[in-house]
Structure 1
Amino acid sequence: MPLAIYALGLMIFSMTTSEFMVSGMMISLANEFGVSIAAVGYLISAYAAGMILGGPMLTSAFLKITRKQAFLLLSSIFLIGQILGAVATNYEMMLAARIITGISSAACFGVSLAICFDMVGPEKRGLAASVVLGGLMVATALGLPIAMLFDQYFGWRSSFWAVVVLVLISGILGIKAIPSSLRAESVSLRKELSVFKNAHLWAAYSTSMLIIGATFSAFSYFTPILDRLSGFNSSAIPLLLGVYGAATVIGNVVTGRLADRFMMPTLVIGLLSLTSALVVFGFFVRNPYVSIAAVMVIGLTGVTMNPAMTARIARVAGTGALVTTVHGSIISLGIVVGSTLGGMAIDAGYGTVSPLWVGASLGALGLISLLPYLAQSNRKVAKSTLKPCTDASE
């Protein structure tokens, strides 16, 4: 992989760490700004809202410039938002910072994937995407715990400044490593939007949303599930989350190597494994050994299907920055949908275990969404097998 691919992965790691780290320092931020824990939770929602709504609009504004220029501009906007968060003196400033970083992060996510697709051939797009998206996995496994340690020992602002330094480093690497010769989009917004008339693209988006929704309906509530139902001590839960994070890194590497040649089988097997793990977890949630195994399988097969999902989008609708940015927004929507439905199930009185069943239901819907394409593939195979011979010598 070219050095630029790793620079893009480092940028995604930095931005994803910024996205998730607020959840690990809720008490510190609540005390700092004199607000409730729920109000700090809105900071996470603000980031997600910026990604879902603002990312595609910002990407559209940058369609006429080269992808390297777009990457550097978006990184600069994110840097400004992150610095604003680091120096925030009140809740309103922090809220604005989260919106700015969310919008620029989503757009940078899409542009980074578009750059990596331009730098490798079609046969290596899944592998390249796994390196870039690996930043997301490593942020979960490493970035979030380190940010929490910074908060505990040096204060929450140090975590924000650490991300600022990482963004600067990845931006400098991008200046040096990303070729200036990469084409600009050079298309009108109307032409770019015409891609979204493709029904197969929306089917692919739907599957991606359901995969991420199924994963995060469980992941968002791992702590209370493992604590209250599986019987683990609170001191052991960070270790279990670390195991989950390590599993996502391993799964991402494996999926990245399979996504180009076996995209659809990867999605089917991954969804089957994810849904099965959620069902088994739900039935045997009070068994600690089953719980550990289920957490590992969810880590191996959940968000790690990102390279296969991205490869599918590229095959269906190309590698345009707007297409990939909207895909990033769909993934963020999946996070919101999964965590929200899981919380609603608990609030409705179905118990702490209910997010696992919500996740299993979303995973089953994801499998159903693939059925038309599996049937289509089988028909093509059957036609090629039954094709009559036209050569008399045969």
Structure 2
Amino acid sequence: MSARSKLPFTIYLLGATIFSLVTAEFMVAGMMPALAAAFSVSLGEVGNLIAFYALGMALGGPPVTLLLLARGISSKHALVGLLAVYVLAGALAAAAPSYAILAVARIIMGVSSAACIGLCMTLCAAMVAREDRGRAVSVVLAGLMLSPVAGVPMTAWIEQHHGWRASSLAVVGLALICTLLAAMRLPTAGAGGEAKLGHQLKTLRTRRLWGAYLTSGLIIGATFAAFSYCTPILIEEVGLAPGQVAPMLALYGIANLIGNMVVGRFADSHTFGVLGLGLAMMVLLMSVFALAGDQLWLNLSCFIAIGLTGVALNPAMVARVMKAAEPGALVNTLHTSVITAGLAFGSWAGGAAIEAGFGLRAPLWVGAAIALLGLLSVIRPFAARRVAASPCT
């Protein structure tokens, strides 16, 4: 009842930090023509700027976190330092005189972003009681949910009125404010109190942890196998006008937010049940969407309903990881990398299905298949837990 008011301000600060990081990752999608014209490159090369950021996240985050742990740097100081690197790289990207420099800046931003997100999760877990972790994580991850709903449209609007450099600087400015507030407001007592590097490396040998990682990667892979191609599906298959896509994406984003908050309420107490139900919904909804034909109401209903699952399952995904291992910086950063790898794989697999000639709705079937694998990855450990919890006869 009154517990809702007990989440500290710093939890919301961490959510704003993740909002700025994820907005910077996807803002390129909203200003592709402007960047292509500015650097005289193709739209495909502009699209690679998102891939460069994701590559930095997937491959660079864990080594940076290992280095920080080896040097015994506290979570707070590591986060503030990496955010400072991120701000400098973002400023370089905003001022980049060439495509090559912009690409390098984006890679550096991705590396620091992955480590920052992992550290945000670690600090979040340390600042609240164990039973409140799911709710706190849902608030922090609301920043991730809000970025496509509010962040990307905001940066696109700024680009249209003031240019892409102003749009990039706006995100850098938000990240700078978060950096300064983090330096002033994050608690220093107990910072860096997480397990030493040797213990965290030992934790990574836990099968339960890698099972949790696998499920997370499959959930995000299934989501982005379908979502990456939602615009052409909605226009060419469903029959929406191009101007109607943005409102539908906004409704999808609102569904993400609602799903995130609902999942956050039950993530700690019913982790496996929430994951299983969410994945089963993904399999069903993506399959029905793929078969919906020209039924407009059914197509749009499925599309919006899918938003209640997928990325919205993040609090349960994080809760499962935190139950499998102590939520140290390395554990959380690796989780971020696995999620990013799942995103890249799902997007590639959906595109490969289209390229193979299976049609524009093929990514929906790919997403349903990956979600089914995710459901299978949850059923076995859930059943094992139920057997272990049942009284001996």
TM-score in terms of structure 1 length: 0.96
Distance 2:63 2:233 in 1: 38
1:93 has 2:101 as partner: yes
Q: Which residue of 2 aligns with 1:222?
A: 230
Matched, 1:23 2:61: no
Report the counterpart of residue 12 of structure 1 in structure 2. Answer: 18
Corresponding residue to 1:248 among 256, 265, 272: 256
- Does the 8 Å contact 1:185/1:320 carry over to 2? no
| 1:84 aligned onto 2:92 | yes
Aligned partners of 2:260 and 2:194: how far apart in 1?
33
1:120 aligns with 128
Contact 2:119 2:329 in 1 (8 A): yes
- Partner in structure 2 of residue 279 of structure 1: 287
**Aligned length, in residue pairs:** 385
* Deviation of the 1:295 alpha carbon: 1.5
- Identity over aligned pairs, percent: 43
Residue 188 of structure 1, CA deviation: 4.5
Question: 2:308 maps to what in 1?
Answer: 300
Question: 2:194, 2:328 within 8 Å by CA — same for their partners in 1?
Answer: no
Contact persistence 1:84–1:94 (CA under 8 A) = yes
Name the aligned partner's letter for residue 7 of structure 1: L
Q: Distance in 2 between matches of 1:286 and 1:169?
A: 48
CA contact (8 A) 1:10 1:170 kept: yes
Alignment-derived partner of residue 392 in structure 1? none
User: Does 1:53 find its partner at 2:59?
Assistant: yes
Q: State the Cα distance separating 1:285 from its structure 2 match.
A: 4.3
State the distance in 1 between where 2:67 and 2:329 align.
11
Q: What's the offset of the Cα at 1:287?
A: 2.0
Residue 212 of structure 1 pairs with residue 211 of structure 2: no
RMSD (Å) for aligned C-alpha atoms: 1.1
Aligned equivalents of 2:378, 2:293: Cα separation in 1: 29
Partner of 2:4: none
* Cα deviation code 1:343-380 (max 9, x no counterpart): 00000101100000000000000011112112212312
SS in structure 2 opposite 1:318?
coil
Asked if residue 143 in structure 1 is aligned to residue 143 in structure 2, the reply is: no
Letter in 1 for 2:308: L
Alpha-carbon shift at residue 278 of structure 1 (Å)? 0.4
Q: In 1, are the aligned partners of 2:13 and 2:182 still within 8 Å (CA)? A: yes
Corresponding residue to 1:168 among 176, 196, 199: 176
275 and 186 in structure 1: CA distance in 2 versus 1, 3 angstrom threshold: closer
SS at match of 2:357: helix
Rounded to whole Å, the distance in 1 between the matches of 2:288 and 2:307 is 15
**Is 2:348 the counterpart of 1:340?**
yes
Structure 1 residue 117: Cα displacement: 0.3
User: Which of 372, 376, 385 is the equivalent residue of 2:384?
Assistant: 376
Contact 1:65 1:185 in 2 (8 A): no
Which of residues 115, 120, 128 in structure 2 aligns to 1:107?
115
Q: Which residue is 1:238 aligned to?
A: 246
Deviation at 1:119, TM superposition (A): 0.4
- What is the alpha-carbon distance in structure 1 between the residues aligned to residue 99 and residue 173 of structure 2? 23
How far residue 191 of structure 1 moved from its aligned partner, in angstroms, is: 2.9
Q: Counterparts of 2:163 and 2:191 in 1: how far apart (Å)?
A: 43
For the structure 1 residues 316 and 186, does the alpha-carbon distance in structure 2 shift closer, same or farther, using more than 3 Å as the test?
Answer: closer
Measure, in 1, the Cα distance between the counterparts of 2:133 and 2:348: 32
Distance 2:152 2:282 in 1: 23
Letter in 2 for 1:260: D
Paired residues of 1:211 and 1:363 also in contact (CA < 8 A): yes
Aligned partner of 1:179: which letter?
Answer: P
For residues 93 and 195 of structure 2, what CA distance do their matches in structure 1 show?
Answer: 35
Change (3 A) 1:142 1:89: same
Q: Is the 8 A contact 1:285 1:353 kept in 2?
A: no
